[in-house]
Amino acid sequence: MSDSGDLQDRMLACLEKVIDPELRCDIVNLGLVYGLNFENGIVTVTMTLTTMGCPIMEVLEQMVQKSLRELPEVKDVKVELVWEPAWTIDRMSRYAKMALGIH
């Protein structure tokens, strides 16, 4: 049985494969993932988007669900979109800033 830290790392690794189609960077390094909760086989992903009217909201949600369902422990995935705290470029990792040419 894997411990929760290992599962958390594997969930984040799955989410690093979810690429924002507009920014061409993964949602973890963009700082869009605010939290992950795993309980009884259900992962709840608390995340935001770069803008409220983001046209790719449903696409990203489907990509998140598909990515996490690859893990054998995961039976279902729920995505909770939040707008507070608001996303800013300060949430981006150094890698994402370099990839997007932001200094």
Specify the number of domains making up the chain: 1
Report d(CA 33, CA 58) in Å as an integer: 15
Instruction: Tell me the pairing of strands 42-47 and 33-39.
Output: antiparallel
The share of the chain scoring above pLDDT 90, in percent, equals: 82
- The answer for residues whose C-beta is within 8 angstroms of residue 24's C-beta and 6 or more apart is 99
pTM: 0.89
Range of the domain at 19: 4-99
Q: What is the pLDDT of residues 25-69, one digit of tens each?
A: 999 999 999 999 999 999 999 999 988 877 788 999 999 999 999
Q: What is the CATH number of the domain that holds 84?
A: 3.30.300.130
pLDDT for the residue numbered 79: 97
Locate 48 and state its tokens: 């935001």
Q: How far is it, in rounded angstroms, from Cα 65 to Cα 14?
A: 10
Asked whether 30 and 50 are in contact (CB, 8 A), the reply is yes
